[in-house]
């Protein structure tokens, strides 16, 4: 007998009025009304298989929904005898002290990037994001990046101030000089757009205005991320601040560059970042997952949406909804 199942790379996230199917392989999100949820049932096992049942007779909405899902490869038919396993979305812990690092710079930044790299290296960070709030020459940028040539970091993202003029050729030159650069973001653009060059360079044009560290934490479709690692992290930790370290433009060590809490400065006196990031106060936000946040806990986007803990609807409530979100999951749409 044939059965229809949800693709193993897909997950259903239920919200208050609507739900979403996240395609964790293609990084796509499909929203649908909760009135269609009855189509799905599970086998109730650990590696859950979600079945898409036959539509109720004469229910055109259900029939159309199943056809749409088939067209997007969100579900397909299997034989009863097929042994099928869903993808693993259980968290696994890595030995890294921090997984990602933000390094902010402006024209007045005087802290040493060499010292910065020496201190960050023992944390085993995988990803570094440089954010430049003032324009700089490509030569200066390349010299900045040269300190990270031997680092443990595997990927580098660069965010340029809107005042910086950057051509595609410049981006290619940067990539040529430093293979680790995988993403370049240009702000204050007419439209949001993503261009992929080759297999491992993305140039992102954003309508937002990155003039300082406070222009962060925006919530929109454009910033949603439906990928396995992010989905897993969102279910278990704060998906922005977990295993993050930031060096602000003055060289202050922080969990988030826009937050007031600071943990010393990148200078000769600072000997070890591991002991700093392992303190309870540094990790204050790390265990706050989206399921604990007011309103977000009922939102179908909660495992794809960055959880800003710096800009809050209610500053006195550490678990209140991100300030820069206007979405209302309690509204039928
Ligand atoms: S907590 Fe908010 S402001 Fe801080 S890095 Fe995350 S999104 Fe940006
Ligand atoms: S911030 Fe919360 S309510 Fe807004 S889209 Fe994200 S998860 Fe939903």
Which residues neighbour 318 within 8 Å (Cβ) at sequence distance 6 or greater? 285, 288, 309, 312
pLDDT-derived band at 333, boundaries 50, 70, 90: confident
**33 and 124 both lie in a single domain:** no
Q: Which residues line ligand 1 (CB under 6 A)?
A: 216-217, 240-241, 256, 258, 306, 308-310
What is the average per-residue pLDDT within 69-73?
91
Last residue of a domain, one of 227, 254, 277: 277
Alpha carbon separation from 50 to 2, 26, 81, 83, 291 (Å, rounded): 14, 19, 16, 13, 22
CB atoms within 10 A of CB 49: 18
Per-residue pLDDT tens digits for 150-189: 788 899 999 998 888 899 999 999 998 888 999 999 988 8
**140 and 266 both lie in a single domain:** yes
Domain count of the chain?
2
Ligand 1 atom at shortest distance from the alpha carbon of 216: 8
| Cα 60–Cα 62–Cα 63 angle in degrees, nearest 5 | 65
The pLDDT of residue 315 is 95
Alpha carbon separation from 325 to 106, 159, 223, 290 (Å, rounded): 28, 22, 12, 14
Q: Which residues line ligand 2 (CB under 6 A)?
A: 219, 295-296, 299, 301-302, 305, 321-322, 325, 327, 329
**40 and 138 both lie in a single domain:** no
**175 and 124 both lie in a single domain:** yes
Nearest to 309 by CA among 295, 297, 322: 322
Tell how far the Cα of 76 is from the centroid of ligand 2, in angstroms. 30
Ligand 2 atom at shortest distance from the alpha carbon of 306: 6
Tell how far the Cα of 45 is from the centroid of ligand 2, in angstroms. 29
Ligand 1 atom at shortest distance from the alpha carbon of 307: 7
Question: Residue 147 and residue 36: Cα distance in Å, rounded?
Answer: 54
Give residue for tokens 């370049």.
Answer: 184
| Cα 83–Cα 86–Cα 88 angle in degrees, nearest 5 | 130
**63 and 202 both lie in a single domain:** no
Ligand 2 atom at shortest distance from the alpha carbon of 328: 3
58: region left, alpha or beta (phi > 0 left; psi from -120 to 50 alpha): left
**122 and 27 both lie in a single domain:** no
Backbone angles phi, psi at 218, to 5 degrees: -75, 145
**72 and 105 both lie in a single domain:** no
Q: Find the range with the poorest average confidence among 51-65, 131-145, 162-176, 273-287.
A: 51-65
**211 and 257 both lie in a single domain:** yes
Q: Is residue 271 part of a domain?
A: yes
Q: Which helix (H) or strand (E) holds 19?
A: strand 18-23
Owning domain of residue 35: 2-79
pTM for the model stands at 0.90
**71 and 15 both lie in a single domain:** yes
| Cα 227–Cα 152–Cα 246 angle in degrees, nearest 5 | 70
**18 and 135 both lie in a single domain:** no
Per-residue pLDDT tens digits for 231-253: 999 999 999 999 999 999 999 99
What is the average per-residue pLDDT within 286-299?
98
**119 and 75 both lie in a single domain:** no
The pLDDT of residue 207 is 85
Q: Is residue 315 part of a domain?
A: no
Per-residue pLDDT tens digits for 311-325: 999 999 999 999 999
pLDDT-derived band at 45, boundaries 50, 70, 90: low
**66 and 116 both lie in a single domain:** no
Which residues neighbour 249 within 8 Å (Cβ) at sequence distance 6 or greater? 104, 105, 106, 108, 109, 133, 213, 257
Alpha carbon separation from 21 to 33, 56, 185, 238 (Å, rounded): 11, 20, 28, 21
Structure tokens at 124: 């085993």
């Amino acid at each position: 007998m044939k059965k229809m199942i949800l693709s193993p790379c897909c997950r259903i996230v239920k919200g208050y009025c609507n739900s979403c199917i996240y395609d964790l392989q293609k990084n796509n999100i499909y929203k649908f009304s909760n009135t269609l949820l009855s189509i799905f049932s599970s086998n109730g096992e650990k590696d859950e298989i979600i079945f898409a049942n036959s539509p109720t007779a004469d229910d055109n909405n259900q029939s159309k929904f199943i056809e749409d899902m088939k067209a997007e490869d969100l579900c397909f038919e299997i034989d009863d005898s097929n042994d099928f396993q869903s993808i693993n979305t259980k968290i696994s812990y890595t030995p890294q002290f921090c997984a990602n690092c933000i390094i902010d710079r402006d024209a007045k930044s005087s802290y040493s990037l060499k010292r910065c790299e020496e201190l960050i290296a023992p944390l085993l960070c995988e990803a570094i994001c440089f954010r430049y709030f003032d324009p700089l020459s490509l030569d200066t940028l390349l010299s900045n990046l040269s300190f990270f040539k031997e680092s443990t970091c595997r990927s580098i993202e660069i965010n340029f101030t809107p005042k910086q003029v950057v051509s595609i050729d410049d981006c290619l030159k940067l990539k040529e000089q430093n293979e680790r650069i995988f993403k370049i973001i240009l702000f204050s653009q007419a439209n949001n757009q993503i261009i992929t060059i080759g297999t491992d360079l993305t140039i992102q044009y954003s309508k937002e205005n990155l003039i300082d560290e406070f222009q962060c934490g925006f919530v929109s479709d454009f910033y949603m991320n439906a990928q396995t690692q992010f989905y897993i992290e969102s279910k278990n930790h704060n998906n922005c601040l977990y295993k993050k370290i930031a060096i602000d433009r003055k060289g202050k060590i922080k969990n988030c560059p826009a937050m007031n809490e600071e943990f010393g400065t990148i200078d000769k006196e600072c000997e070890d970042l591991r002991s700093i990031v392992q303190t309870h106060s540094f990790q204050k936000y790390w265990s706050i997952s989206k399921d604990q946040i007011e309103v977000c806990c009922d939102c179908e986007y909660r495992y794809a949406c960055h959880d800003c803990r710096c800009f809050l609807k209610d500053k006195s409530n550490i678990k209140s909804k991100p300030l820069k979100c206007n979405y209302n999951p309690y509204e039928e749409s």
